[in-house]
Structure formats: C-alpha cells, structure tokens
Amino acid sequence: MSMNGKKIIMRGLLVVVSVIVALVAVEVGMRLWPEDETEAHIKDNPIFDRSLTFYPPAIPRLHPWTTPDVTPLRIAVIGDSITEGAQVQPYDTYGMRLEALLNMNEGVRPAEVHIYALAGTCTKHQKRFLRSALQISPDIVILGICLNDAEDFENKQQLTQWREERLPRIPPPRVAKWLRRSKIVSWLYQKKETVRTRKAQNDYFRKLFAPDYRGFRLFKRSIKYFQDVCAERGIDFIAVIFPMLHADLDEERYPFTDIHAVIGNTLSEFGIQYLDLLPHYINKTSDRLTAVPGIDGHPNEIGHRIAAEVIFEYLLSNAVIDAAYEPTLKQVSRIEYWNSIRKRVHAPLETVE
C-alpha cells in the first residue's frame, strides 16, 4: 500500500475515533445531567404563578347588576372547553369578561351573558345547548367554533385511529432496548417523534374539514340548524372562530390558516355573521396566551381577555348592540402611556414644562 493510501486510512480512523469519543462524552454528560424533578420544577416555574384554586360564584351572584324590574340584554354563549373556561377562573372567561364590558355605562339595559358549554363537545352536540339557551329568550347567540368541531364521534374507530397518530408511538422492543441504554438514542427518538406527531397533529385537523368527511358534513348541518332556529325567533346569531393557541402564531408559520378559510367560507355561504379571532392573536407569543405552555393549549386569562374585547368591538361596530354600550370612560391607550414613559426616561428634560 502506498504512503498516500495509509495516510487516508489513518485520517479516516482518526475521524471515526473522534466521533466515537465525542458521542461517549455527550452520553456521559447527558447521564450526569440532573433529572428534572417535576414537582420542584412546577413550584419554581413562573409560568405556574396562576391561581391554584378556582372560585365558582353562587348562581344568583353571576349577574349581580341586573334587577327584577328591568329586562336585561341577554346573550347566550355556546361552545366547548374554551367557552366553558378550562383552566381559568370563571370570571376570566371571555363570556364573563364580555358581560363586564357591556355593563360599563349607566343608562343602558344591564347585560347578562349566559354560558352553555361543555368540554369535549363539538358543534353537533351543542345543538342541545341552544335548545336550553332558548329558555332565557336571548337577544344574541354567540357560538364558539374550534378547529376540532367537525369530529365525527359516531365513527369511533376512525377517530380513535387519527387521535392515536397524534401521540408518540411506543417503540418496538429492539428499539426500546437501546433507548434504555443510551441517552443519545433516547433523545434522538424523542425528537423524531416530536416532528412526526406535530405533522400528524396538523394533518388531523385537515382531515376533519375535508369535503368528503362525514363529520364536516354534520358540522355544516349543525351550523345551519343554529342559523335557522335563531332566524325563526329573531335572535342575532354570530359565530366566533378560535385559533389553536398552542401552535406557532407567527404570521408566516401558523399551520391552520387554510382551515380557518374553510370554516369562514362555510359560514359565508350560509350568510352567517362571523368573527375570526386569528388576526387578533397572530404574531403574539403562545406561552403568554395558553393555560400551561407546551402542555395545555386552552387560552389563559390573557387569551380570554383578548377574545372578549374583540367580540365586544365586533358587536358595537356591526350594530348588533346599541352604540350606547360603548364605554364612555376611557383611559389613554397603553401604547401612548408606554411612549410617554419611554420619553420621560430617555429625554427627561423634554418632558419638563
């Protein structure tokens, strides 16, 4: 063998040995890295600074500003776990915040917002909530729509299969053996599964709103039912589309814009008033909007507040409610306030009269 050939082989062996040494070093480092103690992590994490106890008010105290001698403006809000207020205080739900906004002024009919919602339901199930809501003779019905509201629960086998595809797979025995032995292999497997489950999650919602999917057809029939029942009784019906707040909310990367368009087009075809909340959450930070970032994507109190304020402005700007409900007492905008503080800090002499 020539000298050049030997040099090439030696260099190749050196590369292989270097890679092995590097992998061993990483493996040792990952083994020595302290394990995350979940209980302590939760206790010390500032994300978990929210209330540890929920305080549902007594039913008679839900609408304390209404009196028996005045007929209130009644709004029924219908939906699933988001509308129900999963992981937030009852008074932080967008329904209750909307009620507070409607009761800012004197001299107008007091407003009552009644919530008819249950976690795990979809639009088809929520038709029964509408029938319950009719008992209070609402002036307005607001239906919260989420991107899983076309699920067909009657085809359990198919739905279960699709849901399981969104979960990390149990590794086969031959792979599990290496996962137990190597931190590196375990880490790589987890990353691979994260990519796969994220794609499966995105595909799941697109399957729900495919034109030939039975659940989507049931969704459209249910939406039409809401419209017809409300129209027959002279009730204003408004649909509100909620985005998936756990997703990447960057304007260029949010993965479900096409599904919002499908839902919006369906509502438009029926001539239904609707509000898509996506533009009001886009480019915001998901961790600031969700109940437990990375774990529970339900909106937290900030997410609910944004929804309530946008819905309130929609009702005003579209004359669904009287202009007299627009708050007369308004403080300077937060942006103007921040700008004034910034100017005071950076140019103090200019702020002195």
One digit per residue, pLDDT tens: the chain, 353 residues? 566 666 666 776 776 777 677 666 665 665 666 665 555 455 556 556 677 788 888 888 888 888 888 899 999 999 999 999 999 999 999 999 999 999 999 989 999 999 999 999 999 999 999 999 999 999 999 999 999 999 999 888 998 888 888 777 777 777 666 666 677 767 777 777 778 878 888 899 999 999 999 999 999 999 999 999 999 999 999 999 999 999 999 999 999 999 999 999 999 999 999 999 999 999 999 999 999 888 889 999 999 999 999 999 999 999 999 999 999 877 777 778 778 888 878 776 665 54
Q: What is the DSSP letter of 76?
A: E
What pLDDT does residue 37 have? 53
Q: How far is CA 292 from the centre of its chain?
A: 11
**Assigned token pair, 352:** 């002195």
What pLDDT does residue 55 have? 86
CA atoms of 292 and 309, how far apart (whole Å) = 22
Domains of the chain: 46-148+215-336 (3.40.50.1110)
**Assigned token pair, 331:** 């403080």
In the chain, which ranges are E strands? 73-79, 111-117, 140-145, 236-241, 273-276, 290-292, 296-299
pTM over 0.85? The answer is: no
Burial 292-323 (b: 16+ CB within 10 A, else e): bbeeebbbbbebbbbbbebbbebbbeeebbee
Q: CA dist 290 to 41, 214, 219, 300, 302, Å?
A: 18, 31, 26, 5, 8
**Assigned token pair, 182:** 């190597």
